[in-house]
Amino acid sequence: MSSSINRLLEIMAALRDPDTGCPWDVKQSFSTIVPYTIEEAYEVNDAIQRGDMEDLREELGDLLLQVVFHAQMAREAGEFDFDDVAAAISSKMIDRHPHVFDRQRPVSDAELRDVWERKKEDERRRKGSLDGALDGVARALPALLRAQKLIRRAARKGFEWPAPEAALAKCREELDEVRDAAASESGHRRLEEELGDLLFACVAAAGQYRVDAEEALRRANAKFEERFGRVEAALREDGREMTDASLEDLDRLWNRAKMEVH
């Protein structure tokens, strides 16, 4: 193990020392740390999206610290340590890449995905967590990402639309049900349910077109931010706030922003 990794492990152990460590670090647990772990993963993603390599280096360090933190707590509990974590992922990567480590023939991207998924399924079966095709999809995932994983798992079992057009038809059907729920007196809960079905259908349609729904929505968010910012800037140039503008003004400025930001 490299000296820099050893140094990081020593620092984490010192921070967790019950007598001389940091009071905040000492009182943490797996459940209290996990929100920070998730946050750091998103910050890594943000640095990549921005193409900021200096920030990426720092954010990857922050994410590594989270792994070290969890491993230290597990070590204290007598469960496993950082070396066990590294050994386990090394073994898993070798097992999932027989075309690299077993010198097998080159394979296509489709075959690679098939090997990867079969290996993952074998792992879940060995763990006794494979009662159904959708078992093991983490519930803590963001809803959009989890929907994609559920849809992909189901598709591997043949449960998918026969063509993209059928998926789009399902989106239209779900949109009609949203309209019905909104116009009826069935209450907020039904409207929420129908909107959820519409969102799920849209994710399924994206998959039919080989579009990553998470990435598509991320780009849509960025586009909305840029357009909204241009509307705000235009109003500021006129000495106005958005709350002072009429709907007609906002619509005109928004359409102009749409022409400028595609």
SS3 string of 212-252? CHHHHHHHHHHHHHHHHHHHHHHHHHCCCCHHHCCHHHHHH
Band the pLDDT of 1: cuts 50, 70, 90. Answer: low
- What is the model's pLDDT at position 100? 84
Q: Which residue has the higher pLDDT, 99 or 172?
A: 172
pLDDT at 117: 74
Read off the tokens for 211: 């579009």
Average pLDDT for 75-79: 97
Task: HSE, CB side, 13 Å, CA atoms: give it for residue 206.
Answer: 20
CA distance 41 to 52: 15
Residue 105 confidence (pLDDT): 67
Does 227 have pLDDT greater than 90?
yes
152: CB partners within 8 A, 6+ apart: 207
SS3 185: coil
First to last CA, the chain: 48
Average pLDDT over residues 178-188: 91
The pTM score is: 0.68
Task: Compute the distance between CA of residue 18 and CA of residue 178 in angstroms, rounded to an integer.
Answer: 55
Helical segments of 102-242, H only? 109-126, 143-156, 164-183, 188-208, 213-237
Q: What is the pLDDT of residue 131?
A: 66
- Which tokens hold the place of 73? 């707590």
